[in-house]
Structure 1
C-alpha cells in the first residue's frame, strides 16, 4: 500500500507501511508462534485486502469551524487531516467532505485539546458492504445538539447512504473516543453489517471487528471447528442430546450466531444490554428461537461461576486484557471439568493469550490460526483450539 500521508511524515500510525504484505504476515506468524510455543500446529494465516479494509473510521476533529480537520492529533495536540486515508473503503472516504461541510454548516466548534475548549471532539463513521453508513458526533456537551438536529436533514440529503446518526457526550478532558451517554438522532439505531454468513446489527457504542473480510473468515473458522467437535453424536434428529455451547464476551453475537443451528443450544453472554438486544434481533432474523440461541446481559466470569453445569464447548473472545484470573480458574477447575471438553479462544492480544494459556494447565492446545485483521501494523488476531487434558 502506498500512502502519501506516511511518505510526507504526517502520519505514522501504520508502523509497517511499505513492508510487503506477505512479509508482514510471515513476521506476525513467527512472533505469535514464539509467544505460544505450546500450540503444536498452525493453519495457514487468514488474510484479506491490505487497503480499504477498515469498516470504521474514528476521526479526531480539529482546526476551526470554517476549516475543520478530520484525522488525528500530533504529539503537540495539533490536528492532522487524514480524510483520504487508504485504510478506509470508498464509502467512508466519500463521506468525509460532506461531513466536513456539515461541521461548518452546523457551527460545531472543533475541540482544542491544548486549550481545553470547543465542542466537537470526534466523528465516527461505520460502513457495511452495501455502502450504508452509521455516523456519530462525539460532543463535549449538549450545547450544539440543537444545531446538529436542525441541519441533519441537509446532511442526510448530501449523504443518502446514511442510515444511523447519533451524538455521544464526552464531557471529560481525557484521551477517550466516546462517553457513556448516546443520543439517537435517527429512527434507525443499528446498522446491519454482514460478516461471514451473518448480518450483525452494530450500534453506535457497540463492538464490531473492523476488518469485515477477515472477521468473516474468523467466524467461519470457529463454526467449522465446532462442527468438527460436534461429530456424529450431535447430528440433528439422531436422538442425541444437543451440543451445548457458550459464547463468552459475545458482543453482537458473531461467534454464537455462526455456531447456532440444529442440534445446538448456544448461549451468548455480554455485559452490554444493547449488544444483547442486537444479538437477539439478529438471531430472530435467522429464524433462531431462544431454545437454540439465547443471549443474556451479564459479566462473563460471574455468570459462568453461577451456572450449575458447564457446556460441551466454550468460546471466548475477551478484551485485550484477557480472561483474568477468576475465569481462568473457573475454566481450569472442577466446575468446568465435569462438562466442558473443548475451548476455543479468540484473542486480539497474543501476549495476554499466552498468559491465559499458562493459567490453564488443564487444557492442551490443539491448533491455532493467525488472522491478519490489522494490515500495516504489528497487531494480530489469533484463534486457538484447546481440549481438556
Structure 2
C-alpha cells in the first residue's frame, strides 16, 4: 500500500508500512510466539494459519482530531507541536468514508463549530468519531468541550441528514477537560435512530455511540467464526462470554440446546446485545456486571479482555472453576502469557493469530484451551 501521508512524513501511525505485507504477517506470528514463550511451544498446541487483513480500506472507524480555522478545518491527528495534520484521505478508510469526512468538514463550517485549539485552550469541537457499517451506513459523534455548540448542530442537522441518508446515528459527547482523552462520560443522541446495525457473518450487532467494536470488521468476522468452530467442536451445553461487549462472541456461539450468557460492565453495550439477540431470535442472556466477579458456571468460558488481560483474580477463579474449555481472545500477548502462567491446569489446544491492525506491530491472538 502506498500512502502519501507516510511518504511525506506527515503520519507514521502505520509504522510497518515499508515492509511487504506478507513479511509483516510472518513477523507478527514470530513475535507472538516469542512473547508467549513456553505456552506457544506446548506439544499439544496446533497453530492455524494466520488470518490476513486487507491492506487498505479496512478500518471501520475514524477517530479524528479537529483543528484549524472554522472555515477550513483539518480532520486528522496532532503533530508533536500541537498543530493538526489532515488525514481525510488516509488509505486505511473506504472511499465512502473519505467522501463523508469531506461532507462533515463542510458541516463544521456551516454550523460554526470552532475547532478546539490545544495551545490556547479555546474552541469547542475536539474530535469527530465516525463508524462505518458493512452496509454503508454511518454513526457520527461530535466530541465538544461544552454544550454551547449543540444548538447549532441541531439547527443544521436536518439538512445534513437529508443530504446524507447514509448517516444513521448522530450524537454529541461532552469532554470538558483539557487532557488527551478521546471522549467524556456524557452522551446526547441527536438522531431518531440510536443504534448502528453492524452485519457480521449471519449476525447483526447493534452499536450505540459509546459501544466498543473491533476496528477491522472482516477480521472480527473471522475471529467470531473461529470461536464458533471451536464451540461446535467441544459441544458445550452452556457458554459464558465475559467482557462480552455488544455480544459478538455470545451471539455467534448461540445454538439450539446451548445456554449462552454474556457479562459486560457497560449497560449501553448490554442493551445493544439484548436488542441484537431479540431481533435474531437467539437464546442468549446478557447482564451488566464485572467479569472478574461473575459466577463461572459454564462448560465453555470465553474471555476477550482489554489489553491488561484478565488479571490474577479472575485467572485464579478460572483455575478453580468447573469449566472444561476456555476461548481466550487477546490483543496483548504479554498479558495473555501472564494469565496463562497463572492457570497451569489449562492446556492450549489450538491457536490463531488474526491481523486486526495491518501495517502496525499489533495483532489479535485467540486460543482454545482445555483442562489438563
TM over 0.5: yes
1:177-218 Cα deviation digits (max 9, x unpaired): 111000000010110011222111011100011101110000
1:331 and 2:318 are equivalent in the alignment = yes
How big is the shift at 1:325?
A: 1.3
1:60-95 Cα deviation digits (max 9, x unpaired): 000011110000000111100000000011221110
Contact 1:84 1:93 in 2 (8 A): yes
Contact 2:135 2:199 in 1 (8 A): no
For structure 2, the residue ranges without an aligned partner over 5 or more in a row are none
TM-score by length of 2: 0.97
Contact 1:110 1:120 in 2 (8 A): yes
**1:56-67 to 2 correspondences below 5 Å:** 56-67=61-72
**Corresponding residue of 2:332:** 349
- Matches of 1:181 and 1:196 in 2, distance apart? 32
How big is the shift at 1:342?
A: 0.5
**Corresponding residue of 1:105:** 110
For structure 1, the residue ranges without an aligned partner over 5 or more in a row are 235-242
How big is the shift at 1:303?
A: 2.0
1:257-278 Cα deviation digits (max 9, x unpaired): 0000101000100011111111
1:198-242 Cα deviation digits (max 9, x unpaired): 111011100011101110000000000000000xxx6xxxxxxxx
- Matches of 1:321 and 1:90 in 2, distance apart? 34
**Corresponding residue of 2:255:** 261
**Corresponding residue of 2:14:** 14
1:299 and 2:290 are equivalent in the alignment = yes
**Corresponding residue of 1:279:** 273
- Matches of 2:176 and 2:206 in 1, distance apart? 27
Q: Secondary structure at the match of 2:47?
A: coil
Contact 2:246 2:272 in 1 (8 A): yes
**Corresponding residue of 2:154:** 149
Match of 1:245 among 239, 248, 265: 239
- Matches of 2:135 and 2:326 in 1, distance apart? 35
How big is the shift at 1:351?
A: 1.2
**Corresponding residue of 1:25:** 25
Computed over aligned residues only, the root mean square deviation of the Cα atoms, in angstroms, reads 1.0
Match of 2:175 among 162, 170, 173: 170
1:372 and 2:359 are equivalent in the alignment = no
Q: Secondary structure at the match of 1:144?
A: helix
How big is the shift at 1:159?
A: 1.6
**Corresponding residue of 1:317:** 304
How big is the shift at 1:174?
A: 1.2
Contact 2:75 2:85 in 1 (8 A): yes
Match of 2:364 among 367, 381, 387: 381
Contact 1:196 1:215 in 2 (8 A): no
Contact 1:197 1:216 in 2 (8 A): no
TM-score by length of 1: 0.93
How big is the shift at 1:318?
A: 0.3
